Amino acid sequence: MKKILALLIAGSALASCAIQSESSNDIPKEITLIAYDAFTPEKGVFDDFTTQYGPKVNVVTAGDTGAMVSKAILTAGNPEGDVIFGIDNTFISRAVSGKVLDEYQAVDEGDVCVNFDKSWFASRNIAVPTTFEDFVKPQYKGLLSVEDPVNSAPGFAFLLASIHHFGEDRWQTYWKQLKANSVRVSADWTSAYTADFSGSTGKGKYPLVVSYGSSPPAEVMFAEIPLTDAPTGVITSTCFHSVEYVGMLRGTKHQKMARALVEYLLAKKFQESMPTTLFVYPVNKAAVLPEVFTKYAVRPTTTETFDAATIEKNRDGWIDAWRNIFL
């Protein structure tokens, strides 16, 4: 007992020393960037930041976007880090009303779209569907796999795209038709894309799946045998436009450095590294896209999207209505 007590006291003394040295010194030794699990930046991409400003960048992953936001809300004001990367437009309102952020801005963008298996349609001489309305036609019965909008970010994005497309009064009818046309609802993206979908690693039965607009270049980059063409394509009229934000966490002790890191993440070097590491598009117009993206990724000319406040206001109602159709 005594030993533990002594350890506790020693530990807290050390902790208080650490706090003091940080606040007395303008430049911290380290600055913490909170990000989602899929944040896999290029190796050494923060070296320039350390050279320029001093602190090392400590990347801390906090689960998927939903988990990251929930945790940030629970710790609002006493955050786990200084800067947070990757809250998207479906969650940013929740983060803002949870008083998580001091300031934030867009850092990257991308699309959630229905992907199709090129060879499946080509070998059967069936035309690739091109619109939301096509998915409920009899010739496309039982071909589409989507994710549960409650548990999956792309699943929710696809639901939002459909609500935006059909409007508040018709979207539920559409989903009932989809259900009648044997749409597959999987628990998460991994199940839908890698098990249900026929166009990637799985031997699934579904040639249509809700995934990202940048999934085709990923298929090329991570193919076992080098490919000259992407095995999958994107149905551009089904895309939901997603924006991810970077923000300074309320309660950070290193505001100046946090701002510097946000600037760094928005600058050309980091922005150009994002497509092939995070599979998102830069927001910095000066950033040049890599060839694998210009060749295999398709950007929709128009997208379905809502403003963040509308999403937050209606989220629970929409999800309840959707669950009532499927559960």
Partner 1 sequence: MEKHLLVMNSVTRVARRAQASVILAFALFFAFPVITMVVKFARVSELIHSITDQSLRDVWWFTFWQAIVSTVLAVLVALPFTWAISRHTIRFSRAMTGFITVPFLMPAVVVATGIKAILPNAAVPGILWAHVVFNVAVVVRMVSPQWMLLDRAIENTAADLGAGRIRTFFYVVLPHIRTSLRSAITVVFLFCFTSFAIVTILGGISHRTIESEIFTQAVRLGNTRTATSLAVLQAAVVLIVIRFSRASPLKLDDPSQTIQAYSEPPTRLRGVILLSLAAPLFIVLTPFVAVIIRSFTLKGRFTISGYRWLFDGSTESVGVNISHTLTTSFMFATLCAVLATTAALIISMARNRTSFIPVLTALPLTISAVTLGLGLIVTFNTWPFNWRSQWWLIPVIHSVIALPLSLRTLQPAIEAIPTDLYDASASLGASPWRTWARIELPLIRPALMRAAGFAAAVSLGEFGATSFLSRSNSMTIPIAIGQLLSHPGEMPNQSAFALATLVTIVIALAPQVRRRHR
Indicate the burial class of 90 (C-beta count within 10 angstroms; 0-12, 13-18, 19 or more). buried
Nearest distance from C-beta of residue 17 to partner 1, angstroms:
11
Name the DSSP class of 133: G
Nearest alpha carbon to residue 213 among 279, 159, 161, 308: 279
**Cβ proximity to partner 1, 66 vs 134, nearer residue:** 66
Q: Least Å distance between CB 295 and partner 1?
A: 16
Would you state the torsion angle of the CA atoms of residues 79, 85, 90, 93, taken in this order, to the nearest 10 degrees? 40
Q: Around 221, how many Cα atoms within 13 Å sit in the side-chain half-sphere?
A: 17
Count of alpha carbons within 13 angstroms of residue 78, beta-carbon side? 2
Residue number, 28 or 134, with CB nearest to partner 1: 28
Shortest separation between residue 223's beta carbon and partner 1, angstroms: 6
Q: Give the nearer residue to partner 1 in terms of CB position, either 134 or 234.
A: 234
Nearest distance from C-beta of residue 184 to partner 1, angstroms: 9
Residue 134 or 242 with smaller CB distance to partner 1 = 242
Q: Which residues bind partner 1 (CB under 8 A)?
A: 1, 3-4, 8, 11-12, 15-16, 19, 32, 34, 37-40, 43, 58-63, 66-67, 70-71, 73-75, 78, 80-81, 94, 148, 150-151, 185-191, 193-196, 200-201, 203-204, 211-212, 215, 218-219, 221-224, 277, 279, 316, 319, 323, 326-327
Q: How far apart are the C-alpha atoms of 186 and 153, rounded to whole Å? A: 12
Residue 79 contacts residue 251 (beta carbons within 8 Å)? yes
* Beta carbon of residue 158, minimum distance to partner 1 (angstroms, whole number): 14
